[in-house]
Every structure is written in C-alpha cells, then in structure tokens.
Structure 1
Amino acid sequence: MENLAGDHAPFDPAKIHTDLTALTNDPTVVHRVESLIVAQLAGFDVVATATIEDTVTQTLAQLGYDQMAQSYRKQQA
C-alpha cells in the first residue's frame, strides 16, 4: 500500500474488514463487500490509499449501500 506521503506498507485486508464492521453489524454484508473489494485489489503489488478508498466507496455504492459509502468516505476524511 502507498499512502498519500508516498510511503509504502503491506496491504492489510483486515483494515477493510474493520472499517466495514464499523459501518454495519450485518456479517453477511461485511463478508460480501469485503470479498469483492479484496478480489479487486488482489492484482496490485502496490495500492495507493486513495485507490483503496475509492474501491471501497464504489463497491458499496454499486451494491446499493449508498449510505454506507457516504459514511465510509466521511470516516476516511
């Protein structure tokens, strides 16, 4: 993962899980969204933080979880 400062850190899918569970208590939703996000990012060696955030937001919106997408975006700001 590459953050805004250009530093690199290993991609940690557990952080996505933590972020999603902060948005909903529904484990089915968390698993569904998390699986799709991790699959989309699996091909990257280095992923910019903004790319991860955009992928999470877009995936939530595409699945009809617009309110969760907005809440996630606010948490990341």
Structure 2
Amino acid sequence: MDVIRRSQTNMYPQSLTVERPTGAHAAFDSTRIHRDLTALTNDPTVVHRVESLIVAQLAGFDVVATETIEATVVKTLTQLGYPQMALQYQR
C-alpha cells in the first residue's frame, strides 16, 4: 500500500486528501466508495458495513494515494468474506 502521510491528529475523513496517480490532490469523497459498493451488491447492510470499515481505516491519514484506497477496499471485502465482490471491484 502506498500511504503518503499518516495523520497524528485527524480522525475524520472529511480532512483526508487523495493523491491521484497524476500527482493531483482532491478531497476524499466517501460517496464514491458507497456508489462502487452499491454497484456490487443490493444489500444495504453489506454496503454500510464495508463502507464504514473502509472509511474508519482511512480516517487516520492526512494524504492517501488512490491505489491505497483501492487496495483497502479489496482487502476489506476479502477479510469480511466477500472475495467475489473484491474480484468484481478490481475489474
């Protein structure tokens, strides 16, 4: 995982900055994760559970690379017992 800088004080994802592969920075938008998870399953309980864990894992960082977010989604889905969803997400 390519985490750029771990936060010492921020525990809220609203202050998270995403570094894109081009080097550009953008504010973290958790609705994108929600949308991607909703596209994988119609079960709102699964979406909420996975989304909450992903956001909690990312909340401790100031800046995080796009690849790190993607790897966190895949890892979380796999650890929670949704390997098929993880494979679909990677596509």
Calculate the TM-score normalised by the size of structure 2.
0.80
CA distance in 2, matches of 1:18, 1:47: 19
1:44 correspondence with 2:61: yes
Paired position in structure 2 for 1:72: 89
SS at match of 1:47: strand
**Counterpart amino acid of residue 55 in structure 1:** T
Q: Percent identity?
A: 73
Paired position in structure 2 for 1:7: 24
**Counterpart amino acid of residue 73 in structure 1:** Q
CA distance in 1, matches of 2:47, 2:69: 16
Q: Flag structure 2 segments of 5+ consecutive residues without an equivalent.
A: 1-17
Larger radius of gyration between Structure 1 and Structure 2: 2
Q: Flag structure 1 segments of 5+ consecutive residues without an equivalent.
A: none
Calculate the TM-score normalised by the size of structure 1.
0.94
Offset of residue 57 of structure 1: 0.2
CA-based RMSD of the aligned residues comes to 0.4
- Superposed structure 1 runs of 4+ greater than 6 Å apart: none
Paired position in structure 2 for 1:24: 41
Relative CO higher for 1 or 2, CA cutoff 8 Å, sep ≥ 6?
A: 2
CA distance in 1, matches of 2:68, 2:39: 20
SS at match of 1:4: coil
